[in-house]
Chains A and B, each alone.
Chain A
Amino acid sequence: GENVEQHPSTLSVQEGDSAVIKCTYSDSASNYFPWYKQELGKGPQLIIDIRSNVGEKKDQRIAVTLNKTAKHFSLHITETQPEDSAVYFCAGAWTGGGADGLTFGKGTHLIIQP
C-alpha cells in the first residue's frame, strides 16, 4: 500500500524564521496531497493542499511544493508566529481521489521559540 514518510519529527525555530517540513511517498499514482495542523486535544485542520498537476501553491504565509519526479512534497511556513506551534501532518491520496481515505505521515511537532 501507500507509504508516506515525514521529516523531521520535531522542528524548533525562532519566531520570525521560516520552517520547512518534508514528506516523501512511494506510490506514483498519488494525486492529492493535503497538509493538516493539529493543536493539542483538537481534530486536525486542513490548512493547504496540492494536486499532482500543480508544482506550487501559496496561501499567505504558507506554501506547499510538489516534486512528482522525486515523489516528495514540502510545507513552507514563513515569518513564523507563536500560534504556528502545533503538530503538522502531511497526507496522500491515490485511489478515487481520496474517497478511500488518506494515508498520513507520522507528524512534525513544530515549536516556535519566542
Chain B
Amino acid sequence: SQTIHQWPATLVQPVGSPLSLECTVEGTSNPNLYWYRQAAGRGLQLLFYSVGIGQISSEVPQNLSASRPQDRQFILSSKKLLLSDSGFYLCAWSAFGDEQYFGPGTRLTVT
C-alpha cells in the first residue's frame, strides 16, 4: 500500500531564516505531488504541483519554492521566512490526477 511521509512534524523558525520541508511517498511510481498550505481556520491553498522529476508548477506568487529531485520526493523551501509563512503545510499525492491523498502535515510557526 502507499504511504506518504512529511517531516518535520512541527517547526518553529525565526523571521529571515531558511526553510526546508520534505515529503516522500512510498509504494507508487511517478505520482503527481502537491504542496498545500492551510492557514488557521481556513481552507487549503494549492502552492505547487509536480507531474514529474524537475517539473514544478506554481499556483501563487510567494516567498516559497519547490523542488522534486527524485520521483517520490518533494521539497518545499524558502531562503528567508516571513511571519505570513506560518501555517500548516500539507503534501499530497495522486496516481492519475484525481484522488489525492494527504500526508500528516508540518506545523510551521515563524516567530
A interface, CB within 8 angstroms of B:
6, 32, 34, 36, 41-46, 49, 89, 93, 96-107
Contact = CB atoms under 8 A, between A and B. Distances in A.
B49 A99 contact: yes
Contact of B44 (A42, A44, A100): A44
B74 interface: no
Interface of B: 32, 34, 36, 42-46, 49, 51, 57, 59, 90, 94, 96-105, 107
Contacts of B104: 42-43
5 contacts: A42-B105, A43-B103, A98-B100, A99-B97, A101-B36
The dominant DSSP class at the A interface is mixed
A44 B98 contact: no
Most buried by A among B42, B100, B103: B100
Nearest to B103: A43
A98 B94 contact: yes
A100 B99 CA distance: 12
Given A43-B90, A43-B105, A44-B90, A98 B44 contact: no
Nearest to B45: A104
Nearest to B57: A100
A96 B97 contact: yes
B43 A106 contact: yes
